[in-house]
Copies of this chain bind each other. A is one copy, B any other.
Amino acid sequence: MTAASDAPQVRIDGLQYCNWSREIFREMRQGGLTAVHATVGYHEGFRETVRHLVDWRTRFRDNEDLILLARDSGDIERARATNRTAIFLGLQNPMPIEDDIGLIEMLFDLGIRFMQLTYNNQSLLGCGWMEKEDSGVTRMGREAIAEMNRLGMIIDLSHAGERTALEAISLSQRPVVISHANPRWLCDSNRNVSRTVLQALRQQQGLLGLSLYPLHLPNGSDTTLRQFGEMAAEAAQIMGAEHLGIGSDLCQGQPDSVVRWMREGRWTRQAQAAASFPPQPSWFGSNLDFPKVSEGLRSAGFGEAETSFVLGAAWHRFITVSLPSAV
């Protein structure tokens, strides 16, 4: 056996937005999570986002035995070597950069490593999946893509409209991700990803993180582990397991006011549909359940190496290639 195979397997969750607590960080350790991409905010502007980042610094200090702020793949190794979880920070909306391209670099320096171009609605950069008309990547969107490419901030196309996603994939000089979504033909929501987008993503060496959020799953909250595995197998047919990961979209401990915040932000006075969290699938309620996902994959015919890719090795490789080393 080599030293590498003695080391614990790399397990990475490509998206969570939990009601963060020491208990949840403990569960990350118990579930063997090497790294997690954590959402910092949705509709917050720059100043509010910085406040969230300050809160994250406090969390890192208060829980330094369990987690660390991750800036590059070296921090995944550091987390592994010290039995902690590396937390990558990201934004699900470009609101924090306002209309100021220079703020991308400021947020990068403050630790942000992922940003979505859009969240459901039209943004300054592109169009979200809930608009009737997707007019694609905007003038500022092209600048933001170039700037994110320059810095090495990872472009996330979750929640984007079809045209915006295709244009962004084509415009980006670096591979992009869809951190948390599923094949659309297995669960028909425009929030999920079409075959066309997946093929473009694959061609550009991008990564898809499979979502465990009930509304993205083929049978909602009742989706079985086996059904999840079968969905993963379909995705792997296009992406290959080496470009497939998990982006669980775990929102553990969040009250329903948070799902309303996600959907309504401050942009509407109307209550939006289904403003409560659906029950999680019985087999995935917390980070403790993360290793179980491999059973679903194995039952759908994934081999050992393929399962390793989906559970974390694919994200690990993507991050290693994408994020510039801090040193």
CB within 8 A of A46: which of B47, B55, B105, B111?
B47
Kindly list chain B residues whose C-beta atoms are within 8 Å of the C-beta of A103: 50, 54
Q: How many whole Å from A306's CB to the nearest CB in chain B?
A: 38
Chain A 108-125 residues near chain B, CB threshold 8 A: 109-111
Asked if A106 is an interface residue, CB under 8 A from chain B, the answer is yes
Asked if A53 is an interface residue, CB under 8 A from chain B, the answer is yes
Question: Once the chains are docked, how many angstroms separate the CA of A56 from the CA of B55?
Answer: 27
On whether A102 and B58 interact (CB within 8 A), knowing A109-B109, A109-B110, A110-B110, the answer reads yes
Chain A: residues with Cβ within 8 Å of the partner, total of: 18
Q: How many whole Å from A99's CB to the nearest CB in chain B?
A: 12
Nearest to A102 among chain B residues (CB) is B54
Question: Once the chains are docked, how many angstroms separate the CA of A106 from the CA of B111?
Answer: 10
Is the pair A54, B100 in contact by a Cβ cutoff of 8 Å? yes
- A35-53 toward B: CB 8 Å interface, digit per residue (1/0)? 0000000000011001101
Kindly list chain B residues whose C-beta atoms are within 8 Å of the C-beta of A58: 102
Of residues A46, A50, A327, which shows the largest number of chain B Cβ atoms within 10 Å of its Cβ? A50
Is the pair A50, B106 in contact by a Cβ cutoff of 8 Å? yes
- Complex A-B: 22 CB contacts under 8 Å: A46-B47, A46-B50, A47-B47, A50-B103, A50-B106, A51-B100, A51-B102, A53-B106, A54-B100, A54-B102, A54-B103, A54-B105, A54-B106, A57-B102, A57-B105, A58-B102, A106-B110, A109-B109, A109-B110, A109-B111, A110-B110, A327-B327
User: Taking beta carbons and an 8 Å cutoff, which residues of A are in contact with B?
Assistant: 46-47, 50-51, 53-55, 57-58, 100, 102-103, 105-106, 109-111, 327
